[in-house]
Amino acid sequence: MDSHIPSPPTRRLSMGERENAIDRTIPLFPPAAEIDEFNYFDNNEPPEYLEGMIRGAQEFVKFHRNGRVVLVTSGGTTVPLENQTVRFIDNFSAGTRGATSAEYFLENGYAVIFLHRQFSLLPYSRHYSHSTNCFLDFMEEKDGKVVVDPKYQEEMLSVLRKYQTAKDHNLLLLLPFTTINQYLHTLRALSVTLRPLKSRALFYLAAAVSDFFVPLHRIPEHKIQSKAGGSKLVMNLDPVPKFLHRLVDKWAPGAMIVSFKLETDSSILLSKARQALERYAHQLVIGNLLQTRKAEVVFVEPDKTELWIRLTPAQEATGVDIESLIIPAIIQRHDIWIKQSGN
């Protein structure tokens, strides 16, 4: 290390060690019973904008009543720690999986309801976001006017044309969420809105959903104060109802439902994905590891098959989207689902 740069102070660990960071003496929560889910929705108000949002979704579904509609969820849900939220627990997701998948569904003739974390990546604009691949880097000034750098014309024109087509044909409905509560209320309401499509409705649950939250009756109104000299913040979180169970059983009967299982430990990915499929009895779990999610996923299906979908090194090197392989494989399964459902 350069002599003139002082070495960082040794990290001060809090009193305990890593293994004490989470109190594991509390018994593991049993799977949420049905009543817990009713309680959740009775005790946690829907967002005030929900009625208007759903009216728009109803118009969209009516417009596409003879086609296929996929609800793509994308981005991470937050768990506010105060009602006047200053601090919150976030779930990791840039929104790349959802936004990229939505583009491939659109290119395959699906209408897309994109339920996404506000300000996360969106279909098409994800190619030129404000930070990575900043759109300003693709422009230059010529004769006092802003023009697109000729180097990028072809690629940008292709993205623009796809974006325009989606807009001109009313194929993409963008609906935002931020908190877990907004997400759950909106997902439930959209499930009911999609019922008329029966098997032609597809749920593609790529959002990173919170598992624990602070219930309304326990959340402080104002910013939590830290005491002078420092003080611990001990949080007591409740489990988020296992809504996937309700979605499959009650909210979206007949629709095809695909969920994602996110892990960081490769040794438990397959078993956790199988467990989710057994627990919720939906049609497909796509397992992925945080660290390799852009290069490989595994399809875990009710007939016990496990199909790995991987980019080759050459595909990775040339920037092929793994979603260009995932989505056609899902559509193949949706074709069969619709045929078997007879509606």
Ligand X SMILES: CC(C)(COP(=O)(O)O)[C@@H](O)C(=O)NCCC(=O)N[C@@H](CSSC[C@H](N)C(=O)O)C(=O)O
Provide, rounded to whole angstroms, the least separation between the CB of residue 261 and ligand X: 5
User: How many binding residues for ligand X (CB under 6 A)?
Assistant: 19
Are the beta carbons of 131 and 72 closer than 8 angstroms?
Answer: no
Minimum CB distance to ligand X smaller for 78 or for 288? 288
Q: 264 — alpha (psi -120 to 50), left (phi > 0) or beta? A: alpha
Q: Is 101 in the site for ligand X (CB under 6 A)?
A: no
Q: Is 251 in the site for ligand X (CB under 6 A)?
A: no
Window 223-242: contact mask with ligand X (x via CB under 6 A) = -------------------x
Q: Is 97 in the site for ligand X (CB under 6 A)?
A: yes
Q: What residues contact residue 149 under an 8 Å CB cut-off, 6+ apart?
A: 138, 139, 140
Which own/partner pairs from 260-267 qualify as long-range (CB within 8 Å, at least 24 positions apart)?
260/97, 260/205, 260/206, 260/285, 260/286, 260/287, 260/288, 261/285, 261/286, 261/287, 261/288, 261/300, 262/208, 262/288, 262/289, 262/290, 262/293, 263/287, 263/288, 263/289, 263/290, 264/289, 264/290, 264/291
Q: What residues contact residue 29 under an 8 Å CB cut-off, 6+ apart?
A: 239
Quickly tell me which residue has 């897309």 as its tokens: 112
Strand partners for 212 = 239
Q: Is 258 in the site for ligand X (CB under 6 A)?
A: no
Minimum CB distance to ligand X smaller for 68 or for 126? 126
Site for ligand X in 263-322 (CB under 6 A): 288, 293
Specify the stretch interacting with ligand X by CB under 6 A; choose among 7-15, 87-95, 158-166, 315-323: 87-95
Site for ligand X in 173-212 (CB under 6 A): 205-206, 208-209, 211
Residue of 104, 105, 204, 243 that binds ligand X (CB under 6 A)? 243
The 8-class DSSP code of residue 129 comes to: -
Minimum CB distance to ligand X smaller for 325 or for 338? 325
Provide, rounded to whole angstroms, the least separation between the CB of residue 8 and ligand X: 29
Provide, rounded to whole angstroms, the least separation between the CB of residue 200 and ligand X: 23
> DSSP labels for 205-265?
E-SB--SEE--GGG--SSPPPPPTT-------PEEPP-HHHHIIIIISTTSEEEEEEEES-
Specify the stretch interacting with ligand X by CB under 6 A; choose among 89-97, 158-166, 176-184, 314-322: 89-97
- Could you give the CA distance from residue 48 to residue 45 in angstroms, rounded to a whole number? 8
Provide, rounded to whole angstroms, the least separation between the CB of residue 288 and ligand X: 5
Minimum CB distance to ligand X smaller for 198 or for 310? 310
Dihedral angle of Cα 270, 277, 109, 55, to the nearest 10 degrees: -130
Provide, rounded to whole angstroms, the least separation between the CB of residue 260 and ligand X: 4
Specify the stretch interacting with ligand X by CB under 6 A; choose among 4-12, 51-59, 94-102, 181-189: 94-102
Specify the stretch interacting with ligand X by CB under 6 A; choose among 125-133, 255-263, 308-316, 317-325: 255-263
Residue of 50, 94, 139, 148 that binds ligand X (CB under 6 A)? 94
**Chain positions contacting ligand X, by CB under 6 A:** 93-97, 205-206, 208-209, 211, 242-244, 259-262, 288, 293
